[in-house]
Amino acid sequence: MILERCLGSMLLVLSMLSNVLGAFVGVNIGTDVSSMPPASDVVAIVKAHQITHIRLYDADPHMLKALAGSGIEVTVGVTNEEVLGIGESASAAAAWINKNVAAYMPSTNITAIAVGSEVLTSVPHAAPVLVTAMNNLHKALVAADLNFQVKVSTPQSMDIIPKPFPPSTATFNSSWNSTIYQLLQFLKNTNSYYMLNAYPYYGYTNGNGIFPIDYALFKPLPSVKQIVDPNTLFHYNSMFDAMVDATYYSMDALNFSVIPIIVTETGWPWQGGSNEPDATVENAETFINKLIQRVSNNSGPPSQPTIPINTYIYELFNEDKRLGPISEKNWGLLFTNGTAVFPLSLGGPSQITGNSTAVFCVAKDDASEDKLRDGLNWACGQGQANCSAIQSGQPCYLPNNIKNHASYAYNDYYQKMHTVGGTCDFDGTATTTTTDPSKFAKVFSSLCSY
């Protein structure tokens, strides 16, 4: 019997993680639900439990209106049916941005566009125009002066990597190399990230017993069963990490390195048919709990230990209208009345509050001056940062160089806006730090304390 628990203890851990510097855990919201609550109720549930990142599979106007003023970071979706038209027409892309993004910003904090869902494997006939569609959307964002705030990417499944283990030898399916190369070049040029749908549930259930279920569920393995890449000797404590690393190595095989990965979907079904014995409440609870603990440690997989694995759980509600096996309908964290399918243990790190270590937003040392100048102009203009102190003759004008002025403007914007979803990115030219830059004369004088 499924115990319905109050959501308070369940998703508090998500609110903790969302406020941790670096990694976050978000939630997907699907709509194939026979008793889908009104958008205002969905947002009320999300806000009540301090979930700060959600992904929509479309650009539903009711949800986008209901999210206004919440500060929640929203990824909106171009549906697979829309990809062809946007890929074939720049004007269609501009119209899509105007209708589904620009019309709601800045009240609704849209930060990313997911172009299609697993296009290469789900709608391969649209693959030739996928990157063109992404370029068209990005150009429309530039025209609307929104490209600093909104990233463009496209979620892909693990199926485009035929042999993901060992990760060090993983490569993309060569039949897609041309498209994937163009995709990675786009992500690099726009400082975006690779969106990955990674499901250890399917990796395990389709693996014919090659890997133990504990490996898929983040459970520790005895020394005799450790999963080790024979080429790098990296130990993999979870299939989740191995999937992410296989994707990093696949990108590296095409000479693209350190394009960050965000896991746009992962989860575990809590109910299945008689031929789906691993879809249980116990396994789902274990997977989700340990996934949250894993992401919250703010580290990456063995090959990229310093890049956190930001992750969206699939999904908020069960989508009972979906076709397929029973498990396909039972991935939700919640029932539609707001109660939890299973309880979650509080395993996250301490929440960062106003009384704890301060976080500052500064320009990266290796950022180009042209991009810093663009970022500075945006922060002082549309970003509404107070840049009067860095004008000639004012106390923070010296040292007079683009990096220091950009750091001042970036941080002024970030301190005002991060509590309502403002990010420290500025087209990849900014980063957060816990060291107060005003303490160092080479950056700012003491008059310019943050």
347, 291 contact by CB (below 8 A)? no
Element (H, E) at 142: helix 130-143
Tell me, letter by letter, the H, E, C secondary structure of 232-255: CCCEECCHHHHHHHHHHHHHHHCC
Distance of alpha carbon 251 from the chain centroid: 18
Tokens of 420: 């309502």
Nearest Cα to Cα of residue 29 among 272, 333, 326 = 333
Bond from prior residue into 106 cis (ω within 30 degrees of 0): yes
Q: How many CB atoms lie within 10 A of CB 442?
A: 7
Tokens of 374: 């663009």
How far, in Å, CA of 154 to CA of 158, rounded?
13
Over its C-alpha atoms, the chain yields an Rg (Å, rounded) of 22
Task: Determine the 3-state secondary structure of 201 from DSSP.
Answer: helix
Residue-wise burial string across 194-232, b where 16 or more C-beta atoms lie within 10 A, e elsewhere: bbbbbbbbbbbbebeeebbbbbbbbeebeeeeebebeee
User: Is 369 among the catalytic positions?
Assistant: no
| Maximum Cα interatomic distance, the chain, rounded to a whole number of Å | 76
Nearest Cα to Cα of residue 197 among 165, 231, 159, 164 = 159
Nearest Cα to Cα of residue 433 among 334, 373, 359 = 359
Of the listed 265, 285, 315, 319, which one is catalytic?
A: 265
**In sequence order, which residues have a C-beta less than 8 Å from that of residue 18 and are 6 or more positions away?**
24, 25, 26, 50, 51, 52, 53
How far, in Å, CA of 374 to CA of 395, rounded?
23
Nearest Cα to Cα of residue 13 among 45, 43, 49 = 49
How far, in Å, CA of 252 to CA of 180, rounded?
12
Of the listed 73, 82, 118, 319, which one is catalytic?
A: 118
How far, in Å, CA of 182 to CA of 131, rounded?
7
74, 109 contact by CB (below 8 A)? yes
User: Is 118 among the catalytic positions?
Assistant: yes
Element (H, E) at 61: helix 61-66
Active-site amino acid positions: 118, 265
